[in-house]
Structure 1
């Protein structure tokens, strides 16, 4: 039986790659995108719902499918206002999980971040940790939380500090082994493929997926 996938954040780097992969995946007959603006040039199997994702409840009747892929995320530079930052990085994923639970969707995948901790004194780590905590409270049957390190690849928007960080990480990555391997740059294509692999896995039980796991899951499925 073919599936319907829901994507939030398809305009971003990882979400865009995920969308491309799902379009070419014959297991999916339908893809629903929920976003603030329309993407052009997409095939008929993709349906777009345009609106304010901070008010995700408005899409309740259309938020129906088999799997939810939540790739929503902002940055300190892009969203310096902490209240708005929390509404995006915490509010949208948690609202999506609640809708998934209400509508009987049994698979929910969300991108968080390495270092997420609801008790952290670092605001951004704390927000991600609180998001993870409250997504898990929905008790969706198959929930996978991805905690990548810095995600590689070229983004549409300029992120100067992130670009510098990627250069530095590439130089020092050979020093990352053992427990430090999880800090290696995460390839966005591996990230999106790992999400699809886990969404369709029948025997993977781990909930928290760090960057060290992502490459292995991409290869082993």
Structure 2
């Protein structure tokens, strides 16, 4: 449900994660945004939860409230995701990174939301030999079939930022990326989470018509 005519209403999915939290910070400070809805399993920290125009409903992603009025918004931004290690199995990983994302997108589209922005991954393809990238490609395919007026798929490389949970493998990757940056192709260099969030917010507010893929090396240039 739209708040008023002075700004846009945004649905932020995955608001407790690295990119999602940065989307929230930037969206809540943006004068073009009048309402932000961020459904999460647990309440968001007070650092963002004190804003009057933030709604933070607690939800069970296995049993989402299909008729909630907040599925209808100007744009939905999705940063939902986990890792195989944290999920515990391939099936659990697919449930989050494809199942939850596709279900949320379907409910938003059914409610009348016409713009969707996804934080995907560099190399995402349903034909990838990597299980992780194959699931990312499959969910991109799901969204592309949902008839959004504007669909933006961001494919960042390794994310550079302070995660709320430990990911030792990513820390090693970041160290290598920073040390050998001049030798690494631009599309594979680490990209700042703040830049990914800014590019996602820009895509949501501009809402370019059609399906748009934004590769990692183009994300920082959009700032």
Maintained 8 Å contact 1:5/1:31: yes
Select between 147-156 and 203-212 the one with higher mean Cα deviation: 203-212
Task: Give the one of 14, 30, 49 matched to 1:25.
Answer: 30
Q: Which residue of 1 aligns with 2:196?
A: 191
Q: Which residue of 2 aligns with 1:122?
A: 130
SS across alignment from 1:54: coil
Distance 1:109-1:186 versus aligned 2 partners, 3 A rule: same
Aligned residue runs from structure 1 range 42-81, under 5 A: 42=49, 43-56=51-64, 58=66, 60-81=68-89
Maintained 8 Å contact 1:54/1:87: no
Q: Say if 2:162 is the partner of 1:154.
A: yes
Q: Distance in 2 between matches of 1:31 and 1:75?
A: 26
Maintained 8 Å contact 1:57/1:95: no
Aligned residues: 215
Q: Distance in 1 between matches of 2:199 and 2:119?
A: 11
Q: Which residue of 2 aligns with 1:3?
A: 8
Q: Distance in 1 between matches of 2:174 and 2:45?
A: 30
Maintained 8 Å contact 1:89/1:128: yes
The alignment's TM-score, normalised by the length of structure 1, stands at 0.92
Q: Which runs of 5+ in 1 are unaligned?
A: none
The alignment's TM-score, normalised by the length of structure 2, stands at 0.91
Q: Distance in 2 between matches of 1:113 and 1:35?
A: 22
Q: Distance in 2 between matches of 1:202 and 1:115?
A: 24
Distance 1:132-1:202 versus aligned 2 partners, 3 A rule: closer
Distance 1:87-1:161 versus aligned 2 partners, 3 A rule: same
Maintained 8 Å contact 1:7/1:31: yes
Maintained 8 Å contact 1:117/1:128: yes
Maintained 8 Å contact 2:12/2:36: yes
Q: Deviations along 1:54-88, whole A, 9 cap, x unmatched? A: 33354544312111010001012211311111010
CA RMSD of aligned residues (A): 1.6
